[in-house]
Chain A
Amino acid sequence: MTEREEQRLESMKERLDNIPIPEEALSTAIRAGVRQAEQERNRKRPARRLIWPAAAVAVLLLAFVMTIRVSPAFAHAVSSLPGMSLIVDLIQDDKGLKAIMDNEYYEEVHSTDSDGTVTVTLNGVIVDQSGMVISYTVDSTTGMRDPDIEKIDLFSGSELLEPQGISFNYPSEDGSMSNEQLIHYNFAEPLQTDIRDFELKLTIRDAEEHLFSLPFTVQNPIAEGKVYELNRTVSVDGQKLTIESITVHPLKVAIRIKEDPDNQMDILQYEDLRIEDGNGEVWSRIINGMTATQDEDGTDVYFLQSNYFEQPDLMSLRMNRMQAIDKTERLVVDTLTGEVLETPSDGKLEVTELSATVIETKLKTGPDFGYGYLGNATDANGKRIDLSSGGYWQIDHYSYNDLRFTNGDYVNPITVEFFAYPNYIEGDVTIRLE
């Protein structure tokens, strides 16, 4: 009865089996697909395993969440508001966010979208010229299994607000019906202060793809960042650096620092960069979410917790201790011969595994170091090698860091830069802001 159809299907299959296969285009597509997945993966998973974006210019410096508690009464009062419990968690670690709540700069917004199975509701936002924190709730009639956020785009009108970095959590994986989430969206360019209408586009995938479009309007005026143009060059242990500017936003303080290219050392981490007021109150580095970034011209931008609302009279930018390493100290390996050609002269670094796609190292740091320390890897031709991931962990007095490459398509030997290193320079830099 259906034989004729079966025959036709058969001959169609034969045709299909004989179509030309674009072998090379497919190989390229496969590589591109893996890269695409890695980039998407790198955008999330901020905390436990430190991962570098494969090809991005921006370097995200992420630190671990520390537990500092604020008054439980305050936390309790605020967390009873809808969509607020995660923000309360955040406040524990960030004085700027606490001031935002105290000054009612957080704004409730109302927008909801549903595809029948999954519903996303916005609770509220904090927006300034530097970025936006968005609180939202995901409800599912069936309970979500292994959900994954595929895409987050924020628009103003039809224009995408280009992100410099986005951090967010996974929606809960335990199949619960409702859970609350936060997105930190950092703008690449300062937001215009007269924008009121936004639209968040969100793609969540569990068994299937759910697309949401959430337009919303903010009522409160967007606070204008206060810019201090400084261009002050200071010297620490003979190393010159220029503090170009400081911009104070409600969400964060951004400090632009450029190192003198003629310096003998590379400054890796400004451990105690901070702002102090006349009473000795301190605003230190942001420790959760995006903590720093780098401009295309090599200027580093560090983020401090904000004192936008305090507006202290006497404000100073201060720093005393930085991680730094002599520019001649390098890690150079040949993955083909398995040779370690150069390591820093202090003998603290050891290569524990070496293959075409993996470099694993061990560094004597003491127990409380807290930084992934390996940076970019470049090949013999000076070409940046694509990373699939980098991991950092600590056992007793040693820190470990590995780099995984997407493939062995590079020219040996490889030079690996340091991102952090337990070698310090000290000085006393104090710059008055007025």
Chain B
Amino acid sequence: MEERELAERAIRGDAEAFVRLMELHKAPLYRTAYAFLKSEHAAVEAVQEVTARAFKNIRRLKEPAYARTWLTRIMINYCQDELKKARREPVTDRMPESISKAGDDLLVLEEALLALPGPSRRLIHLKYFEDMKIKEIAEIEQVPEGTVKSRLHKSLRALRDFMNGKGGRAND
């Protein structure tokens, strides 16, 4: 069955079709969760939670063709909520795993991403990790394309400033 048909059936309340739709998207959703939460355990948990939220609200998915985008958005919202929560809870006994290796210059990038404000982080993620087009991002964020472009630009600049500050590489 095609993705579109699965999504249509899921919207009509077919639990089995919904499960198959989630199976189709589980790897990208997991990667998204991992990019934010940096832990296998937390990312699997995120997939469960997002499955529950999506299933409860499946009727709000108006256009079956956008299932992946819609799920990604729920995932990012969940992850950003979790990060906010983690910041409120002072003690964490869990050392985040890392995508980068020790001594790697990607470590600096990871730190820089963490320091970005939520909306900037989301834009960067959608553009560079989810490979979305400006037009798609504009739809998700419900702002004009021009605004997406300028915000992205600003976000990249912020990243750069942060890394320059951290990495001590001025005027690179």
Contacts and interface: CB of A to CB of B under 8 A. Distances in A.
A36 B16 CA distance: 15
Contacts of A346: none
B55 A33 contact: yes
Contacts of B163: 5
B44 A26 contact: yes
A37 B56 contact: yes
Interface string B150-167: 000100110110010000
B99 A6 contact: no
B15 A21 contact: no
A134 to B, nearest CB: 23
Given A30-B22, A37-B52, A41-B56, A13 B44 contact: no
A408 B172 CA distance: 60
Interface string A1-40: 0101110111111011101011101110111111011101
Nearest to B98: A15
Given A16-B34, A26-B44, A29-B45, A5 B26 contact: no
B160 A5 contact: yes
A16 B48 contact: no
Given A12-B100, A33-B52, A34-B18, A26 B106 contact: no
A40 B160 contact: no
A374 to B, nearest CB: 18
A357 B16 contact: yes
B129 A5 contact: no
A8 B105 contact: yes
B48 A33 contact: yes
A29 B48 contact: yes
Interface residues of A, number: 41
A180 interface: no
Interface residues of B, number: 46
A34 B156 contact: no
B2 interface: no
Interface centre among A25, A41, A146 (most CB of B within 10 A): A25
Nearest to A388: B15
A330 interface: no
B52 A21 contact: no
Contacts of B51: 29-30, 32-34, 36-37
B48 A30 contact: yes
Given A5-B156, A34-B55, A37-B52, A209 B30 contact: no
B60 interface: yes
A384 interface: no
Contacts of B54: 33
Contacts of B156: 2, 5-6
B12 interface: no
Contacts of B34: 16, 19
B23 A27 contact: yes
Interface in A135-165: 146, 148
A199 B27 CA distance: 40
Contacts of B153: 2
B143 to A, nearest CB: 16
Interface string B108-144: 0110000000000000100011010000000000000
Given A5-B163, A37-B56, A209-B81, A22 B128 contact: no
Interface in A169-207: none
A27 B48 contact: no
A358 to B, nearest CB: 10
A44 to B, nearest CB: 11
A221 to B, nearest CB: 39
A29 B41 CA distance: 11
A22 B40 contact: yes
9 contacts: A5-B159, A12-B100, A13-B128, A22-B40, A23-B26, A25-B44, A29-B47, A34-B15, A34-B55
Given A9-B109, A26-B27, A34-B52, 12 more contacts: A9-B128, A9-B129, A16-B35, A17-B31, A21-B27, A22-B40, A27-B26, A29-B44, A30-B48, A33-B52, A34-B51, A406-B16
